[in-house]
Amino acid sequence: MIPKTYKEIHLANRPEGTPANEDFAFVEKEIASPGEGEVLLKTLYLSVDPYMRGRMRDVKSYVAPFELNKAISGGVLAEVVESNSELLQKGDIVNGTLKWAEYTIAKADKVQKVDPTIAPITTRLGILGLTGLTAYFGLLDIGKPQPGETVVVSGAAGAVGSVVGQIAKLKGARAVGIAGSQEKIDYLINELGFDAAVNYKSDSFKEDLKNALPDGVDVYFDNVGGEVSDEVIFQLNNSARVVLCGTISSYNKPGGDIGPRIQWKFITTSSMMKGFTLGDYASDFKTGAADLGKWLQEGKLKYEETIVEGFENTPKAFFGLFEGSNLGKQLVKVADPEFAKL
């Protein structure tokens, strides 16, 4: 049964420093009927991602900031519960960039139908979705790992980093991960096949990192920035490539981030540093998705998901990203489907 009202999550304040509960507001609204070419969607899963923190600032970036007192948006898996379009019918599973809401109305041609027989539907928010594609294009197009080279990835136990390391191994490179707990270190080595992994929270991190890199660094996939990245950059080899994907260590620093001056290292090693966003590769998404799907079906890629239950716990799941509490992709389970058989 479709209820008369639903809740959505608004950005109530622009956080200064670490986001808190008071920066989010749960707003109740009435459910409307879909217009011509539209569908009413029941949210099943929400994706929470570090980049969303940047959109909470009112600054110019590659994507517009979230508006105050309006619903936050992100990757969503949903079920069609009412359709006014020939493109989709009741019970279809779709994904797209949608509101953080229990229900939402969307244009049918603005969401993508998901085939639940290919892989678990949650993979479309992770390894077969935007995070998997981020790892794929950033590593292969910018990093260009070669057999025998050393690839280092920070945030290695996260949704993007874990895929980066596995693809590096598929390309014949040596994969070294950086993560924040012994549990994650064990996971990277024993489950994902990383050649080495280092705990950045350890007092001996600098020494451990050097020991894990006897042949230096040829490719660094940077998800965190900060002091961790400073240490990796000091180990760059000649003609190294640094892929800038994220700087999660500084997202909650209101005064910005300050670190060593590293330009000299890139000059003396003839190295390259390049940032990117996934939108740079939009025209090639099908190619990346096909390769990721093939590798997953062949058992060459593994993934983990950290799933928080309950729409009301969405902010908590988001906070967990900055505490390092997630292993793999961070998701929120909002509801079970009503009509689809998964």
Residue 249 pLDDT greater than 90, yes or no: no
Residue 108's pLDDT band, with cuts at 50, 70 and 90, is: very high
**Beta-bridge partners for 54:** none
Report the 3 state secondary structure along 263-289: HHHHHHCCCEEEECCHHHHHHHHHHHH
| pLDDT score, position 225 | 94
Residue 56 pLDDT greater than 90, yes or no: yes
Residue 17 pLDDT greater than 90, yes or no: no
| pLDDT score, position 82 | 97
Q: Could you tell me the pTM of the whole model?
A: 0.92
| pLDDT score, position 139 | 98
Residue 1's pLDDT band, with cuts at 50, 70 and 90, is: confident
Q: Kindly report, residue by residue over 127-170, the tens digit of the pLDDT.
A: 999 999 999 999 999 999 999 999 999 999 999 999 999 999 99
Residue 250 pLDDT greater than 90, yes or no: no
- What strands, in cross-sheet order, belong to the sheet with 272-275? 196-199, 174-179, 150-154, 217-222, 236-244, 272-275
Structure tokens at 77: 């898996």
Cβ-based burial of 144 (10 A; exposed 0-12, middle 13-18, buried ≥19): middle
- Section 95-114 average pLDDT: 97
From CA 265, how far away is CA 49, in angstroms rounded? 31
Residue 270's pLDDT band, with cuts at 50, 70 and 90, is: very high
| pLDDT score, position 61 | 79
From CA 117, how far away is CA 276, in angstroms rounded? 32
Residue 253 pLDDT greater than 90, yes or no: no
Contact present, 161 and 145 (Cβ < 8 Å): no
| pLDDT score, position 59 | 83
The secondary structure of the chain in percent helix, strand, coil, rounded to multiples of 5, reads 30, 30, 40
Residue 60's pLDDT band, with cuts at 50, 70 and 90, is: confident
* DSSP SS3 for 55: helix
From CA 220, how far away is CA 301, in angstroms rounded? 20
Quick one: what percent of the chain has pLDDT higher than 90? 88
| pLDDT score, position 239 | 98
Q: Kindly report, residue by residue over 274-327, the tens digit of the pLDDT.
A: 999 999 999 999 999 999 999 999 999 999 999 999 999 999 999 999 988 899
Which of 58-72, 165-179, 267-281 bottoms out in mean pLDDT, i.e. has the lowest? 58-72
| pLDDT score, position 252 | 78
Residue 236 pLDDT greater than 80, yes or no: yes
Query: How many C-beta atoms surround the C-beta of residue 186 within 10 A?
Result: 12
| pLDDT score, position 254 | 74
Selection from 165, 129, 127, 169 nearest residue 304 by Cα? 127
- Section 215-232 average pLDDT: 96
From CA 26, how far away is CA 17, in angstroms rounded? 21
- Section 32-59 average pLDDT: 94
Residue 340 pLDDT greater than 90, yes or no: no
From CA 104, how far away is CA 32, in angstroms rounded? 9
| pLDDT score, position 93 | 97
Task: Report strand pairing: 305-309 vs 93-99.
Answer: unpaired
| 313-336 as b/e: b if 16+ CB within 10 A | ebbebbbbbeebebbbbbbbbbee
From CA 303, how far away is CA 73, in angstroms rounded? 24
Residue 342 pLDDT greater than 80, yes or no: no
Query: How many C-beta atoms surround the C-beta of residue 341 within 10 A?
Result: 6
Residue 256 pLDDT greater than 80, yes or no: no
Q: What residues contact 165, with CB distance under 8 A and at least 6 apart?
A: 151, 153, 156, 175, 177, 188, 192, 194
- Section 207-215 average pLDDT: 98
| pLDDT score, position 126 | 96
Q: What is the mean pLDDT of the chain?
A: 95
Residue 263's pLDDT band, with cuts at 50, 70 and 90, is: very high
